[in-house]
Structure 1
């Protein structure tokens, strides 16, 4: 899917996204998406848009299952990040996510057709592997914080430019 198409599907509106900070064996669960970021690829913690009538915690459980195949329990709200990169504008709520079942797989975005899927892979990455990624391929939080333990300690509201 092209960046233009991503903008058509997800852009020009404010979205509330719920994202999971999930650690296992010192690694942070990340999902690679195409059609996002300046280089057309972006590694981000898994998550997605809330649906009308859905709680943030319900959204987190649903989105992680869709994107990674993992069943999780939503933990506490850690921090909020405001992402603005036209045509995308999102308030991202980051929660702790604790694995309760399932197995890690490449998931899907059900709102996209089969030939438009943007998820490339999901995997746990340690600090060295995150730091080894070009900064342009990382979510804004990952450009500033690469140690998964530091990310779980973040609190507050962030908006980076």
Structure 2
């Protein structure tokens, strides 16, 4: 395991992620996953720092990773990831763009030669079944994004 990402393991991490959605696509980041050790697409987000609210964290992480300033909307999904040595509780919020131009950022806690972020793209919902992405527990919500009234926020891990 990479020494820099070992800080993410052997503890419960609380993460927040933002779902920035267009009518037919979602903004995802491709990263080198410390969990699978493979490239994976995920919504932008990251770990909450001590003393930071979920909203503050999501705004900070989204800006670090995408160069976009956002407004945080409603909580739409909770995912629990248990894949030893990693364990995370992830809160997914609907977000809207406030300002900025989309640009791949970085993880300031990792050195320039240890960056996990690789790409940033609008991924059409129709292509989600053709790429490796997470969390899969979001799939039904994303496919029915425009028709949603209410649905369960937590569906288990």
Q: TM-score, normalised by structure 1?
A: 0.85
Query: Following superposition of structure 1 onto structure 2, how do residues 71-150 of structure 1 map, counting pairs within 5 Å?
Result: 71-133=69-131, 137-141=132-136, 144-145=139-140, 147=143, 149=145
Deviation at 1:154, TM superposition (A): 4.8
Aligned to 2:38: 40
More moved, 97-106 vs 146-155: 146-155
Deviations 1:76-105 (A, max 9, x none): 111211011111111001111100111111
Contact map agreement 2:23 2:146 (CA 8 A) in 1: no
Deviation at 1:12, TM superposition (A): 0.7
Aligned to 1:17: 15
Deviation at 1:7, TM superposition (A): 4.7
Stretches of structure 2 lacking an aligned partner (at least 5 in a row): none
CA pair 151-35 structure 1, distance change in 2 beyond 3 A: farther
* Distance in 1 separating the partners of 2:15 and 2:52: 12
CA pair 13-151 structure 1, distance change in 2 beyond 3 A: farther
Deviations 1:57-82 (A, max 9, x none): 11111110001111100001112110
Aligned CA RMSD, in angstroms, stands at 2.2
Q: TM-score, normalised by structure 2?
A: 0.87
Aligned length: 154
Deviation at 1:122, TM superposition (A): 1.2
